[in-house]
Every structure is written in C-alpha cells, then in structure tokens.
Amino acid sequence: MKIVEVVNALEKFAPLPLQEDFDNAGLQVGLTETEVSGALLCLDVTEEVIDEAIRKDCNLVVSHHPLIFRPLKCVTDANFVQRCVIKAISNGITIVSMHTNLDNAIGGVNYKMAEKMGLLSLKPLAAKNAGDTMGASGVVGRLPQPMEAKDFVGMLKRVFGVDCVMANQLLQRPVSSVALCGGAGGFMLDEAIAAGADAFVTGEMHYHDFFDHEQQIQICVIGHYQSEQFTNEIFQSIIEEKCEGVRCCLTEIRTNPIIYL
C-alpha cells in the first residue's frame, strides 16, 4: 500500500477543510507515492521521533501537531524543525499531520477524551461547517452518575495521568454534565457555560478566564499534552480499519516539553 492511501484514509476521517485558518495540517515533508513500510504515530515530531521511525523502519510519521507550523525561509540546522525536515528527507520519511481538522472531526480528539472519561450522550459543543464537511469544536456529554467536584477532579487525574489539575473554586453541587475541548481550548468556555455544563475540561486556559465563574461551572485544566495524549489511538484505529496490512507503531517517546517539579 502506498503512503498516499494512508493519507487519504486519515483525511477522509478528518477532512482538511475542517482545520482552522491559522493551521497547517496535512502533508509536511516527503513523497506519498512510495510504498509504506510502517507508520509511526505521535503527538509531536521531534528529532528523537524521527530517529525512532528510522529504528522501527517506518517511512511514514503521522503526528497531531504539525512539524511545519510557520513558513520556513530556509532549511538549515538552526532549530529542531529544520533539523527534522533534513533528517526526514535524508532518510526517505514522509511526515503528515492531522491537527485542528482532527480536533474538529466527529469522532476526533474531543470524542476520544470523552470516551476515556466515560461520558454518554455526546453532542457537539459548537458545530462547525466547512463546505460539505460537518465538524464540532468541543463536545458536551454526561457522566454515568453525578460526582462530587472533588471526586470528578480525582477521576481526571487518574484517567489522564496528571499529578495536578488547575481548577477554580470547587463546585458545591454534583457534576453531571461535562463540556470539553482538548489542547488550547479555553476559547470554548463561554460555549460550555451556554450549554449548561457543570464542568469544563481543557488543556490550556488563560489566567484571567478563571475569574468570575465561582459556583457557575467547574473549570479543570489538565495540560495540553495530557489532554491530547490518546490521539495516537485514533490514528491507529483509522489505519488498521482502512489500510489493512499497514504496520502501526505508537511512539514510545514522551514529547511533552513541559516538566513538573
């Protein structure tokens, strides 16, 4: 099977028109008419990830975050992005990224987060229409059973493997309805409130947005990387279902650049 067939399967699930205007999803580096030897699935492309692809004989790297987010005026060894481009081309590796198109896709990043949390009756938090393609920026659902706010935060820590959740004042009523938006999803807070959610879960939010929502909604910020860490599972399920015989490898490298001391 050629790389282009894998790319087509991914883009059918998360069409590129769903990406935000600022984004650069899709083909990043390399050729697509080559036969695929294996696909390495990751959140971020780093030099270590490219080395891992070489070791595992994967000539396709599928990432969530684009390697090339801003235009390159030159390709040297000046920074890790340019070094990754050089290393990928030198080793015949193609890099494809599914970013905000996968965030906005039905069944994409936010739906995977909701699945891990066990949310039921999922609905789009804000519908997105990109031509003939329908998507959703964030989702809202309900817990199987209402939870006290403290227990809800504890559940998030267990599910997403975080030591700390940034939260506002603990809600004094049970949490039942939950809205969420992975990554830098703080911009969806107003939509979460309008949807009547008891809690809003995201990866990043501005400091000032925490103010003035005490006892209105339980805000829980779990970290950008942490909120999107299960994205590889989406890639894997698409490729295994639509591209029979293509070997998938989930990266073993934790690419989160933030450490917690």
Cβ atoms of residues 167 and 221 within 8 Å: yes
pLDDT digits (tens, 9 = 90+) for 54-91: 999 999 999 999 999 999 999 999 999 999 999 999 99
- The first and second tokens of residue 205, run together, are 């939010």
pLDDT digits (tens, 9 = 90+) for 138-159: 999 999 999 999 999 999 999 9
Closest to 254 measured CA to CA, from 39, 44, 30:
44
pLDDT at 133: 81
List the strands of the sheet with 248-250, edge to edge. Answer: 26-29, 94-97, 60-63, 39-42, 248-250
Tell me if residue 26 falls in helix, strand or coil.
strand
pLDDT at 136: 85
Cβ atoms of residues 82 and 75 within 8 Å: yes
Cβ atoms of residues 178 and 151 within 8 Å: no
- In DSSP terms, which residues pair with 250 in a beta bridge? 41
Cβ atoms of residues 219 and 203 within 8 Å: no
Closest to 182 measured CA to CA, from 104, 84, 66, 249:
104
For the entire predicted model, the pTM comes to 0.95
Cβ atoms of residues 251 and 44 within 8 Å: no
pLDDT digits (tens, 9 = 90+) for 31-48: 999 999 999 999 999 999
| Residue 183: CA count within 13 A, CB half-sphere | 18
Helix axes 231-242, 109-117, angle to 10 degrees: 110
